[in-house]
Amino acid sequence: MNEPKRWEQMLVQMYPSLFVRSFHGAPFAPGYPICGPGWRDIVVKLVERISQAAANYPIRFIQISEKWGRLQIYWTSKASLPQEVEQAVEEAVALAEAASACTCARCGAEARLFSDGGWLLTACAEHARGAPVPTPLGHANAHLVRGYVETDIQIVQCRHYDRTLDAFVDVDPRLTD
Ligand SMILES: [Zn+2]
């Protein structure tokens, strides 16, 4: 009897160009998502956003996995990308990583970071283990990200991830001390 397909498998099959390559003639998806079920919606949205942003470019995921209590996402492209495409892809990745940092990996509820004997996990009150980790920068969900002000100048911005909007809001870094 066939087992029902996992959501990760369905996602890979739905977006083969973003996932599948050939390894000795066999299909192989290095970016096959490896994370808790609570992050399914985050990963699905990430893939949808990147599929839209990079529709005509050879982008492929090389890793989507949980590390240090949050999602870590790596991708590659076989061709150089227009800057606006690359920025849109990076934005989708940053949103997914930020969302994972405040969403329980087990159940998808609002969550925070805990340390359980050195093991970091993002969990809601029900699924928490160990002790809560103090928020970096003294500001909930603050993220330092690379931003672009002009074509060739990279700056560091401080942005706040708004979980309800699933979007970044600029914050003044001076207020986060
Ligand atoms: Zn939970």
Pair (123, 145) in one structural domain: no
Same domain, 140 and 126: no
- Average per-residue pLDDT for the chain: 87
What pLDDT score does 4 carry? 78
pLDDT at 149: 47
Residues 42 and 102 in one domain: yes
Number of residues assigned to the chain: 177
Q: Are residues 147 and 75 located together in one domain of the fold?
A: no
Kindly state whether residue 1 falls inside one of the protein's structural domains. Answer: no
- Same domain? 91 vs 128: yes
Rounded distance from Cα 105 to ligand 1 centre (Å): 7
Confidence of residue 88 (pLDDT cuts 50, 70, 90): very high
Residue 177 pLDDT: 47
Q: Which residues surround ligand 1, an ion (CB under 5 A)?
A: 104, 106-107, 109, 124, 127
Per-residue confidence band for 56, with pLDDT thresholds at 50, 70 and 90:
confident
> Ligand 1 centre and the CA of 58: distance in Å?
36
Distance CA(25)–CA(48), nearest Å, equals 27
Output the CA 56–ligand 1 centroid distance in Å: 37
- pLDDT of 92 over the 50 cut: yes
**What are the pLDDT digits (tens) for 121-166?**
999 999 999 999 987 554 455 555 544 444 455 556 677 899 999 9
Domain assignment present for residue 81? The answer is yes
112 & 37 share domain: yes
Q: Find the 94 Cα to ligand 1 centroid distance in Å.
A: 22
The helix/strand/coil state of 18 is helix
- Domain assignment present for residue 82? The answer is yes
Same domain assignment for residues 118 and 145:
no
Higher pLDDT: 101 or 170? It is 101
Under 8 Å between Cβ of 115 and 133: yes
Count of C-beta atoms within a 10 Å radius of residue 42 = 23
Q: Are residues 34 and 85 in the same domain?
A: yes
Number of domains composing the chain: 2
Tell me the residue range of the domain where 80 lies.
7-133
Please choose, from the candidates 76, 81, 6, 79, the residue with its C-alpha nearest in 3D space to the C-alpha of residue 44: 6
Pair (93, 144) in one structural domain = no
Within a domain: residue 52? yes
Residue 153 belongs to some domain of the structure = yes
Question: Is residue 92 a part of any domain in this protein?
Answer: yes
Do 114 and 29 belong to one domain? yes
- Residue 2 placed within a domain: no
**Residue 83 sits in the same domain as residue 161:** no
CA of 3 to the centre of ligand 1 (A): 26
- Confidence at residue 3, expressed as pLDDT on a 0 to 100 scale: 75
Shared domain check, 117 and 140: no
Distance 55 CA to ligand 1 centre (A): 34
